[in-house]
Amino acid sequence: MAKNKKQKKKDPRVQLVALYKKYVTTSGELPHSIKDLMHFAELDFKDFKKHFKNLEELEVALVLWYFQCADDLLQSDDEAKSWDQKDRHTAFLYLLIEQASADDLFLHEFVSEKRKSSSFMKQFAMTLNAQSFKSLDHQGKSAEMLSSIGLNPKKTALTNHALSVLWFFTFDTSTDKQDTDAFIEKTSDLLFRLTDTSTLTSMFDLGKFMVSRKSAAFSWS
């Protein structure tokens, strides 16, 4: 007799993310507190606090989940491993909006409201840029030069470009989201032109020069 395969236990954090989405699409507004969300699901406050410190942390995790799913899909594609970075990045962007497309209505309501919150936007930007998504990582000459001071400008550029694509997609009203396709192609091309190795090397050399002359610069302090 074949052994029954054990079902993979669902991550309770993912279940809370799904609950948040259901709350918004059902009520037409974002929950104002943990209490609102838990009352909607008939769950205890402690069920939430086991996994998230506050509502904003859940909201940050919610958007990060789209990035995580897109990254997992691209990393599991053996063919993608032989692509150059620009092609991998473009593929990641399309996977990202593919993950988001099922939540089009939710995201429109969510982003419309949360982009008004400086607290959320600041926390999300910091958390997103601290992630280690392999699809958005950058290893190269510029990364080696700047690693000593804890900087990886191309990784930061790739990450924030992906976020701009997600935000653009959310408010794109064109037929079949054609404007999003154009946005991805045009901005990706521009991004890789601006962040090629020669440009970043020149920026690094300028930075070293400015640091070396810092002591001679005027300052009120």
pLDDT tens-place string over residues 8-65: 678 999 999 999 999 999 999 999 999 999 999 999 999 999 999 999 999 999 999 9
Q: Do the domain assignments include residue 105? A: yes
| Distance from C-alpha of 181 to C-alpha of 202, rounded to nearest angstrom | 31
Boundaries of domain holding 193: 82-206
- Smallest CA-to-CA distance from 58 within 140, 3, 114, 2 is with 114
Q: What b/e string do you get for 194-213 counting C-beta neighbours within 10 Å, with b at 16 or more?
A: ebeeeebeeebeeeeeeeee
Q: Do the domain assignments include residue 217? A: no
| Distance from C-alpha of 215 to C-alpha of 98, rounded to nearest angstrom | 51
Q: Give me the residues of the chain with pLDDT under 50, please.
A: 1-2, 142-143, 146, 149, 200, 203, 206, 209-211, 213-221
Amino acid identity, position 189: D
Q: Do the domain assignments include residue 131? A: yes
Residues near 200 by beta carbon (within 8 Å), at least 6 away in sequence: 141, 142, 145, 153, 154
Q: Do the domain assignments include residue 5? A: no
What does the pLDDT read at residue 219? 38
Q: Do the domain assignments include residue 169? A: yes
Q: Are 23 and 37 in contact (CB under 8 A)?
A: yes
What does the pLDDT read at residue 35? 95
pTM: 0.79
Residues near 144 by beta carbon (within 8 Å), at least 6 away in sequence: none
| Distance from C-alpha of 64 to C-alpha of 106, rounded to nearest angstrom | 15
Evaluated on CA atoms 124, 130, 132, 137, the torsion sign reads positive
What does the pLDDT read at residue 220? 32
Q: Are 41 and 102 in contact (CB under 8 A)?
A: no
- Torsion, CA 188, CA 189, CA 191, CA 194, rounded to 10: 170
Q: Do the domain assignments include residue 111? A: yes
Domain count, the chain: 1
SS3 168: helix
